[in-house]
Structure 1
Amino acid sequence: MALVRDATAAPSMHNAQPWRFQYFRRTRVFHLRADLRGALPHSDPELRALHLGCGAALMNLRVAVAHEGWQAATRLLPDPGDPMLLASVTLTGPLGGETDPAGLYPAVHTRHTSRHPFAETPIPGPVCTALVDAAHQEGVWLAFPSGWHLQSVLELMLEAEARNITDAGTASDLARFTRRAGDERPATEGVPESAFGPLRRIGKAPMRDFAGGKRVPGRPTADFETFPHLALLSTARDRPEDWLRTGQAVERVLLRATLEGLATSFVTQALEWHDTRWPLRDPTSGMAYVQMVLRLGYGRPGARTPRRPVQDVLDTEP
């Protein structure tokens, strides 16, 4: 089904694709469920990143439904007795005069994570405002750190990346969802070698090394940004509902950024360790929990990464 194909164009940590959909024809209801095939037991033991990825897929589904001219009613965690049922989306009737979020649809299949250097060009104020507004529409706070706060975030990310390189559990999660040239695994999930991006030669952009510190023949090096543009998405609480809302906000921001000509990537290393996640917050803000850090800028678009076929993630019911 085209709507689910659009939904699964969403990003997820290590492209693990931790979602599964059910569609009930008679009631015109989609269920979004967690798929533990996409769980990262060491890097994401609480399933926070899993919820974020599923929230991003939910946002894409909402965009696609609106693009097809339907109104939809969305409920998060509709059954307290079934925590793996993350959301329901009911098609309630033809779309009226309201076009949001249908206008984001052109970016659904052109948004790709870019692990390449970005220019040092400032992001115009109106574009920043549009991204802040996009997050606010999902009930999430977006801020652009600067000065001492930006420096602190960068240092925390570098510390966490250094830990990840030597941590066996992190390496195991990464190995499950990266594909090197010559691998015999199906090319339907994970981050392929073609999307690793170049190794950083100089610069402060906090890039994850998807090769895990191992040599990749022919992989280039590049100079990254000295002052990267980062955006922090935060919430006042830290519950599964907040994670799902953040996932929707992240994807709405990414789609808007893509339409504005920005390239984007994720900076999650410090979010994967309890002692480095908490200090990411801005102590002057009421938003206590940083849920996601994005890197934004003008640069080379990212490479497309694989997705599981729709028939592998969709069950259709009467």
Structure 2
Amino acid sequence: MQPCRIRWLSAYLGGMDARVLVRCVAAATLAPSLHNSQPWHFRIEGDAVEVYADSLRRLEVLDPTGRELMISVGAAVFTLRAALRGEGYLPGVETFPDAGTPDLVARVFPRDSAKPGAAARELAAAIPRRHTNRRPFSAAVVPAAALDRLREAAAHEGATLTVAGPASRTVIVSLGRTAAERLRRRGGYYAELNRWTRAVPGRRDGIPAAAIGPWDSLERIPMRDFGVIDAQPSRRGERFEAYPTIAVLSTEGDGPPEWLRAGQAMQRVLLVATGLHLATTPVSQPVEIASIREVLSDPRAGRWAQMLIRLGYGAPAPATPRRPLSEVLADG
């Protein structure tokens, strides 16, 4: 954003430095998204940041309904909220504020200035340190107190995080393998995967080779194998944790408002986990097959699985690239 535009915005905001909002938008772009597709763009209007879903970045094969796109945008909305709180403002949010503009997902704005507490500072500090980790985790057990913190984080955003016990974990791992097999048979799957993993000089989205990680030699972890397109002779198989900690994030209801809520809950969980020095992997393929997603849900109670999250301790994962603000932030 041009300096003259920032000065004009600062005056328009009644003394609030527009660079605060720009920094918050930059933080929001660090949110996770399906295949690092980054399906969002932003606009600063008045004292608010408008968050839009970019439907052109929806993955048509994996996400025909746009559910995962909305979860990704929800993660960006929460990151924007957390960044604004870290800057010393209580964030307000209006979701789907204009029925005539369906791509306008949320409007986030500073309500009042207030010094952030320790928890808010911890969330904001975790934003640049959170990275999806597709590497093996150690055998160390995630403490019950940490899992309680993560459940509370999901509940704070109106979602439920259920940590799988030994029996349900075995079922989830089996369902994950089944989902992966079915997705590979889906028309266009490999072409779409190739689109988001293909190495292109200067590319600022997608999954780079450094973030793919090794393949699970024992197929214990229900994660997507981004190496199926290219055999990658240098890519080795490794033993992943024998007893992974896997949690299911679910919501009551299953429409765009719930998907947006799920994305905000997911990101709060991921940031709290990062603050607890936990490694995290959002796992989506079991909920990309309708029949398998239904097994993980409770349709009669109106509760739907939205995402799986793998948790544990592991070596730091590399960051994935992000598009520059010049591509995602409109001047107004």
Within 1, Cα distance between the matches of 2:120 and 2:54?
A: 26
Say if 1:113 and 1:264, in contact at 8 Å, map to a contact too.
Answer: yes
Higher helix proportion (structure 1 or 2) = 2
Within 2, Cα distance between the matches of 1:205 and 1:142?
A: 19
The one-letter code of the counterpart of 1:198 is: P
Displacement after TM superposition at 1:203 (Å): 5.0
- What are the superposed Cα offsets for residues 40-61 of structure 1, whole Å, 9 maximum, x if unpaired? 0111011000000000011110
Say if 1:121 and 1:298, in contact at 8 Å, map to a contact too.
Answer: yes
Within 1, Cα distance between the matches of 2:284 and 2:213?
A: 16
The match for 1:304 is 319
Within 1, Cα distance between the matches of 2:237 and 2:118?
A: 43
The one-letter code of the counterpart of 1:48 is: R
Whether 2:301 is the aligned partner of 1:293: answer: no
Residues 88 and 155 of structure 1, relative CA distance in 2, 3 Å threshold: same
Residues 31 and 17 of structure 1, relative CA distance in 2, 3 Å threshold: same
Within 2, Cα distance between the matches of 1:213 and 1:164?
A: 14
Residues 123 and 216 of structure 1, relative CA distance in 2, 3 Å threshold: same
The one-letter code of the counterpart of 1:46 is: T
Q: CA RMSD in A?
A: 1.8
Displacement after TM superposition at 1:122 (Å): 1.2
- What are the superposed Cα offsets for residues 150-175 of structure 1, whole Å, 9 maximum, x if unpaired? 22111111001112233332222211
Within 2, Cα distance between the matches of 1:99 and 1:303?
A: 26
The match for 2:104 is 85
Whether 2:60 is the aligned partner of 1:44: answer: no
TM-score normalised to structure 2 length: 0.89
Counterpart secondary structure, 2:331: strand
The match for 1:176 is 195
Counterpart secondary structure, 2:157: coil
Displacement after TM superposition at 1:214 (Å): 3.3
Whether 2:267 is the aligned partner of 1:251: answer: yes
Say if 1:233 and 1:292, in contact at 8 Å, map to a contact too.
Answer: yes
Say if 1:52 and 1:244, in contact at 8 Å, map to a contact too.
Answer: yes
Spell out the pairing of 1:1-318 with structure 2 (5 A cutoff). 1-24=22-45, 27-95=46-114, 101-180=120-199, 183-184=200-201, 186-212=202-228, 214-281=230-297, 286=301, 288-317=303-332
Within 1, Cα distance between the matches of 2:296 and 2:206?
A: 27
Counterpart secondary structure, 2:309: strand
- What are the superposed Cα offsets for residues 68-120 of structure 1, whole Å, 9 maximum, x if unpaired? 11122101111122221100112223125766644301110011011101112
The one-letter code of the counterpart of 1:314 is: L
Structure 1 stretch 151-160 or stretch 4-13: which is displaced more? 151-160
Displacement after TM superposition at 1:276 (Å): 1.2
Say if 1:118 and 1:224, in contact at 8 Å, map to a contact too.
Answer: yes
Say if 2:190 and 2:229, in contact at 8 Å, map to a contact too.
Answer: no
Identical-residue share of aligned pairs (%): 37
Q: How many residue pairs end up in the alignment?
A: 311
Within 1, Cα distance between the matches of 2:183 and 2:316?
A: 26
Counterpart secondary structure, 1:241: helix
TM-score normalised to structure 1 length: 0.93
Within 2, Cα distance between the matches of 1:260 and 1:98?
A: 17
The one-letter code of the counterpart of 1:303 is: P
